[in-house]
Chains A and B, each alone.
Chain A
Amino acid sequence: MSGWDLFTWSAIVVLVAGSIAVFAWFLGAAGELLRNGRDEGDQR
């Protein structure tokens, strides 16, 4: 496998796995975001 191939397949892995990981992180933190939004709405 050439250096270009290695670079390209690494980029594909980072793109796919990285985006899924960030989305999972977002879902994990979404509860807090919704709670904050609800609390703020209650104060208005």
Chain B
Amino acid sequence: MAVIDRTDAPFDLDVGDFYDQYRMMFLIRRFEEAAERQYKAARIGGYCHLSSGQEAATVGAVSALAEDDLLITGYRCHGFALARGVPPEAVMAELFGRAHGCAHGRGGSMHLLDVSRGYYGGWGIVAGQLPIATGMALSLVRQGKEQAVLCELGDGAVNMGAWHESLNLAAVWNLPVVFMVVNNLYGMGTSVDRASAEPDIFKRAGAYRIEGERVDGDDLEEVEWATARLLRAAREERKPAVLEALTYRYRGHSVADAGLAYRTRDEIDERRLQDPLVRTRESLEARGVPPEGLDALEAEVEAEVEAAVVYAEGDAAPSVDQLAAGVYAAGSEEQFERMRPGSPAGEEELVFAGGLGR
């Protein structure tokens, strides 16, 4: 574990910020619990990857982003979307596959996004987002912008070729991107020790001569400070970096996985003793925030999550007439006109009638 010199912190958190961050962590926890219930009630389909236990890593890192910095993640992305400010209603509606979901009901749990907040999506193929993050950083450089990209990935992604290729490109081109490895110790059911020849993932940055740092991912401040420092170096000095946040996911890989085939219940219980929510709350109380205020906050967040579920339930399904919306850019209709004669049933009815490019 890298020892963080707290006197070197890039800024001082005031209690107000800290309070808001705790609120967000608590919101993510309750949101994930609600998502699991709704999945089991068959109101959410597909894959549903929960992040309970990882709230400090998520909120700490996102808090360090400047307003115009960019974010891109893998598929365990509910918490990142919420932390970046996507309203819980829009995230829950997406999980329900509804028209006012943040991806219009077309992406679901794995493909949340909000371009207005600089969140360029949850991506479903392991490590697929890394080269894309690199390209986003390249674009920032080309446009002369002093912004950075935070690219989240899981520990399972670091043995893909795309990891190596992206880190190398980012390093040789001096791109403003921080690759944040959320190391929850298991890539699906395979522990980091079984999957990685160098399980100290942050050390791999050395192979590209860029900075690598490991933090206690359950310590909100430590995550935020380290992320802030690395993002600042990316923005101001165009230095890419690897940040490894050690954390733990309480639930299985997805809701369909009980999460007990490859780890023990004791291990999970032991990790719960260091729950980032409890730690953060204790820290707030130690700074003089009265417990009653925190209790009230928790009740408020629970109501907010419940309201998101009610909103999602009441939202309309996307129109089937719009099946082909977005597949091609507006104005492409004419290019496809001459493909129609004799086209097979699937295409004829659903692509051409479905409205290209809307």
Task: Report whether chain A binds chain B.
Answer: no
Q: Which residues of B contact A (CB under 8 A)?
A: none
